[in-house]
Chain A
Amino acid sequence: MHVPDGFIDAPVSIAAGAVAVAGVAVALRGARRELDDRTAPLAGLTAAFVFAAQMLNFPVASGTSGHLLGGTLAAILVGPYTGVLCVSVVLLMQALLFADGGLTALGVNVITMALATVLVGYGLFRLLLRVLPKTRASVGGASFVAAVVSVPCSAAVFTLIYAIGGTTDVSVGKVAAAMIGVHVLIGLGEALITAVTVSSVLAVRPDLVYGARKLIKPLELRTGAPGGGPADRPAEGPARPSGASA
């Protein structure tokens, strides 16, 4: 769903570019906390995987296809801030190397496919994990649902931008209905790819899944024998106040 040049007028494209730059700047600050010597290469590989998966258009309805957006997937694997950067790098390379997604629409594309998908997808994923039992199946299920929802939300954000700065006079209601309708179907494909990928990584290296790190932490602590982490008092309460890591 790469927006080409000319769908959105110049002022709104520029404004979208400014929002995208601000979003990426926030992501760059936040990603520092998510990335270390081991997760930085993983994040690069995740971006490469998102690029590869985006090439795989799958049929969804008569004469229509869809492809992975990847924001939810990247955020669950390597963290939300880094996830935004992964998809943004993919979008930048697609626009510069493959003429996919207009250069003037890059801001719009970063907002719809990187920022919106991560905010909605990862936000929903965290909410679901809060209420679901702490199992690997829950992580797979939550990633499925989060990914399904993220795609029509991304389409809705595009429609909103179109409503503000579309270059044509098609009724916003029609665009919204068509965009959200078809992207619910595409969301199912997104969900399948996301859940299978997350579950596969969980099966072989659960410690590398950012979104599941709370699940495996207790196990790590248990094997850590006496005086494991420096900040970790062996206090009786197993419930630690917040997700403060390291």
Chain B
Amino acid sequence: MTTKRFFVGFLLVSLVLAGIVSYYASGSPDGLEKVAADKGIDAKERDHTLQHSPLSDYGIKGVGDSRLSGGLAGVIGVGAVLVVGGGLFWVVRRRDHSRDS
């Protein structure tokens, strides 16, 4: 498999997971949330500073259909992480050929 083809495939898997499969994810509280509620360590929890942001809680404000809203939010997240992370890694990488600058 060529590197390019592998990269495209890897990205497609992530997009399908975040954009489609995520709809079927469990809605139960995760381990920490459950323990926090059961034991009461969340008594002083504060609302998230950005709780009204357009993508808060993995949905898009104003999109009614939850499948579409969550799926699009997932795709946007994959794109954002790829751009920010990939950009960071591209800047940090070692450049064996460009000694001249």
Inter-chain CA distance A186–B84, complex, in Å, is 28
Distance of A113 from chain B, by nearest CB (Å): 10
Interface bin, chain A:
35 or more
30 pairs from A and B in contact (CB 8 Å cutoff):
A1-B30, A2-B32, A5-B46, A41-B7, A44-B81, A44-B87, A48-B79, A48-B85, A49-B13, A49-B17, A52-B14, A52-B17, A52-B22, A55-B77, A63-B29, A65-B26, A67-B25, A82-B89, A85-B85, A89-B85, A93-B80, A98-B55, A103-B48, A103-B50, A168-B42, A174-B39, A178-B38, A204-B6, A205-B1, A205-B6
Tell me if A85 and B31 are in contact (CB < 8 A): no
Residue A128 lies at the interface, judged by CB distance under 8 Å to chain B: no
Q: Please provide the chain B residues from 20 to 50 with a CB less than 8 Å away from any CB of chain A in the complex.
A: 21-22, 25-32, 34-36, 38-50
Residue A19 lies at the interface, judged by CB distance under 8 Å to chain B: no
What chain A residues lie within 8 Å of B29 (beta carbons)? 63-65
Interchain pairs with CB closer than 8 A, number: 230
Interface bin, chain B:
35 or more
Residue B72 lies at the interface, judged by CB distance under 8 Å to chain A: no
Instruction: Tell me which of A28-36, A214-222, A228-236 binds B.
Output: A28-36
Residue A56 lies at the interface, judged by CB distance under 8 Å to chain B: yes
